Amino acid sequence: MFDILLLPIGLAILIKGADWLVEGAVMLARRLGLSPLVIGLTIVAMGTSAPEVAASIAAALSGSGDIAVGNVYGSNIANLALVGGLCALMRPIQVQPASRRRDLPLMIGSALLLWPFLQSGTLARGGALFLLLLFVGILIYMIRSERKRFGSAILSEEEKQYLQKPSRGVGISTLFIFLGLLALGLGARLTVYSASSIGRMIGLSEAVIGMTIVAVGTSLPEMITCLVASFRKHDDLSIGNLVGSNIFNTLLVLGAAGLVKPFSISTRLLASDYGIMVAVSVMFTVFALIRGSINRTAGGFLTGTYLSYLMYLFFY
């Protein structure tokens, strides 16, 4: 009974944390003359990906490689299909040309790159270190590229209006971000603990728990943050958070977990589940490239895809 009561408490903390994080991130970006996209790709994405890092490292240390990898697969699928779909259903998400040309291909490339390192069934420290180094390289490239673009005259009307709005000081903005990330972490921890306990009580396997309860639970910071950002019409922050989080999950989360302790994974995660993650990444990218946005029709299709994925997990 106590575990069930933790769910609404955790969700309430998550919502308030997301509100603080979005407000602080937008204020900080405006104060520093940066685009919301670069803040979404870095500070917000890394902050909302912290639960995935903690969960996968803990799983690797306990010898549960399936939970570590299943968490990444499930979180990436949930980010794009569930979170992206719900945000688009609430309000179509505009995708800037910079994201279509640079960030979305990097996201797909990161997912495809996992295959050579995982096909043996074990992630060794050498492969994990390479993933981490690649993550650092991609992060530096994205930041430099976006700062160069935002420093030029090639800005949308929305970005120009955004720069002209007043902002609070760096200290206040940073405090909002810190409090938001702290609340998101606490809320996600309470929610995952509660849901995982319930999942074990009803007899779910570790792989299914990793790809559903843990994955969705650790994706709650992205979900609530993106919904709040979308509601406030900060589309760049939403896209940056989704795409950046998926890149971080793939490279940083698995790299950190494998570096701490090499782990093995099951054949199932190497086959169908990996293919689903790549397919959803490609689907999201195609929708963004066709219209330059994720509209409500695409959002409905993505959400439906995620519900079908859940049915596959529970009945396969």
What is the C-alpha to C-alpha distance for residues 198 and 57, in angstroms, rounded to an integer?
22
CATH code of the domain made up of 2-315: 1.20.1420.30
Residue 225's pLDDT band, with cuts at 50, 70 and 90, is confident
Which strand (E) or helix (H) includes residue 37? Answer: helix 36-39
Answer whether 208's CB lies under 8 Å from 241's CB. no
- Predicted pLDDT of residue 44: 76
Residue 208's pLDDT band, with cuts at 50, 70 and 90, is low
The average confidence (pLDDT) of the chain is 79
Residue 77's pLDDT band, with cuts at 50, 70 and 90, is very high
Pick from 51-60, 145-154, 289-298 the range whose average pLDDT is largest: 289-298
Average pLDDT over residues 178-205: 72
Which strand (E) or helix (H) includes residue 264? Answer: strand 263-264
- Predicted pLDDT of residue 215: 65
Residue 160's pLDDT band, with cuts at 50, 70 and 90, is low
Residue count (the chain): 316
∠ CA(314), CA(50), CA(215), 5° rounding? 5
pLDDT in tens, 226-253: 887 887 777 877 888 888 889 988 898 8
Residue 278's pLDDT band, with cuts at 50, 70 and 90, is very high
DSSP one-letter string for 71-116: HHHHHHHIIIIIIHHHHHHHSPEE--HHIIIIIHHHHHHHHHHHHH
Is residue 291 over pLDDT 80?
Answer: yes
Is residue 281 over pLDDT 90?
Answer: yes
Find tokens 């996201």 and name the residue.
107
Is residue 103 over pLDDT 60?
Answer: yes
- Predicted pLDDT of residue 80: 93
DSSP one-letter string for 116-164: HHHTTSEE-HHHHHHHHHHHHHHHHHHHHHHHHHHTSS---HHHHHHHH
| Residue 176 CB neighbour total at 10 angstroms | 21
Which strand (E) or helix (H) includes residue 282? Answer: helix 272-291
Query: Is the CA virtual torsion 114, 74, 289, 255 positive or negative?
Result: negative
| Non-local CB neighbours of 158 within 8 Å, separated by 6+ positions | 94
**Is the whole model's pTM more than 0.95, yes or no?**
no
- Residue spans of the domains in the chain: they are 2-315
